[in-house]
Amino acid sequence: MELTQLKYFLTVVRLQHVTKASEALSITQPALSHSISKLEEELGVPLFERSGRNIKVNRYGRMFADSVERTLLGLEEGKQALEEYSNPESGVVSLAYLNILGAELVPKLIRGFQVLCPKIRFELVQGNHKTIGKHMENGDCDLMISSIKMESDEYGWISLKTVPLYAVVPVTHHFAQREELQLSELTGEPYVEVKHYCGLKTTLETCFLRAGFTPTSSYEAEDLMTVVGFIAAGLGVSILPKTNGLMLDGLAWVPIKDEGSFCEIGMILKKGTYLTPAAKRFSEYVKGCFPKAHEKTNG
């Protein structure tokens, strides 16, 4: 059963005349009659009552015509939806990003892009790295912005910016007035850490290994907002990037002297995967916002 057959069938149903239908479809009458006969043969029931040159749809034909019309309508709606998604001027960008990046970076990027492309819409997914990584792996998003690369070399990494890390302590802490410190000076301090699926976790572990520092973990938090909440309450210290979403009262942010104490923010996309024109435009816009951005692959 072919789509063309179904369209031919509906035209005959509408006009109730093979000759008129063949003229409307710009095909020969024998070709149309053959197409209808093949359709009836495949379905196993007659769809029309024939009397000489006259033809009239029967009850089986009416039943089938209702189903065909719904099917073709659904196909047309699906086609229109895909056209809307792929339209370079009014398409959709599906973007996943870390929770903490929703406080400043991602809103700024979207706002700037929509000044240039006001009709393009965004589908946004945010969460920890594990959550948004699944969306990328499942093909549910076009692009992802994170602080950690995907493990597979199937994904490209476009480095956007590096963000310095700070020792975050309560304002009453004896380190609060320091101009800078080394990670090793935090040895023995109660440390508030994030769970393994947080994007910052791997970055911190690399910094600690380089500095020969092993934190004394006292609390393990689900997200960075919880970490700063515990610090503000005087329950420990931590190492964090200084972003607007984490700036609570009662905190002191002390620069770290150790080399390499920063986290890298990058954009991730799957190699060889189709990107809609809208997603491509946003990707190029993001890279343009960071002149030193460069694409690297994992490994």
The CATH number linked to 9 is 1.10.10.10
Same domain, 39 and 126: no
Q: Is residue 241 part of a domain?
A: yes
Same domain, 212 and 257: yes
Query: What is the model's pLDDT at position 197?
Result: 63
Query: What is the model's pLDDT at position 19?
Result: 85
Q: Is residue 85 part of a domain?
A: no
Q: What is the mean pLDDT of the chain?
A: 89
Same domain, 228 and 170: yes
CA distance readout (Å), 171 to 165, 168, 194, 254: 18, 9, 21, 11
296, 157 contact by CB (below 8 A) = yes
Same domain, 257 and 273: no
CA distance readout (Å), 268 to 45, 67, 112, 197, 275: 54, 43, 20, 17, 12
Q: Is residue 14 part of a domain?
A: yes
Position 10 pLDDT exceeds 50 = yes
Q: Where are the beta strands (DSSP E) in the chain?
A: 48-51, 54-57, 92-98, 121-127, 143-146, 155-170, 190-194, 216-221, 238-241, 251-255, 262-270, 294-297
Same domain, 96 and 119: yes
CATH number at residue 233: 3.40.190.10
Q: Is residue 84 part of a domain?
A: no
Q: Which of 65, 127, 49, 119 is nearest to 91 (CA)?
A: 119
Which tokens in the block code for residue 12? 């005959």
pLDDT in tens, 145-160: 998 888 888 999 999 9
Q: Is residue 87 part of a domain?
A: no
Total structural domains in the chain? 3
d(CA 84, CA 78): 10
d(CA 270, CA 153): 9
Position 167 pLDDT exceeds 90 = yes
**Region 187-209 average pLDDT:** 86
Q: Which of 162, 158, 161 is nearest to 268 (CA)?
A: 158
Position 168 pLDDT exceeds 50 = yes
Same domain, 169 and 257: yes
255 compared with 223, residue with greater pLDDT:
255
Same domain, 155 and 166: no
72: containing domain: 3-78
Non-local (6+) Cβ contacts of 108 within 8 A are none
Position 196 pLDDT exceeds 80 = no
Position 84 pLDDT exceeds 90 = no
Same domain, 155 and 171: no
Same domain, 287 and 231: no
220 compared with 84, residue with greater pLDDT:
220
Query: What is the model's pLDDT at position 298?
Result: 45
Q: Is residue 216 part of a domain?
A: yes
pLDDT grade for 76, boundaries at 50, 70 and 90: confident
Q: Percentage of the chain surpassing pLDDT 90?
A: 59
Q: Is residue 230 part of a domain?
A: yes
**Region 237-260 average pLDDT:** 93
79, 204 contact by CB (below 8 A) = no
Secondary structure class of 94 (helix, strand, coil): strand
Position 297 pLDDT exceeds 50 = no
Cβ atoms within 10 Å, residue 130: 12
Same domain, 107 and 74: no
Choosing from 47, 78, 109, the residue where a domain stops is: 78
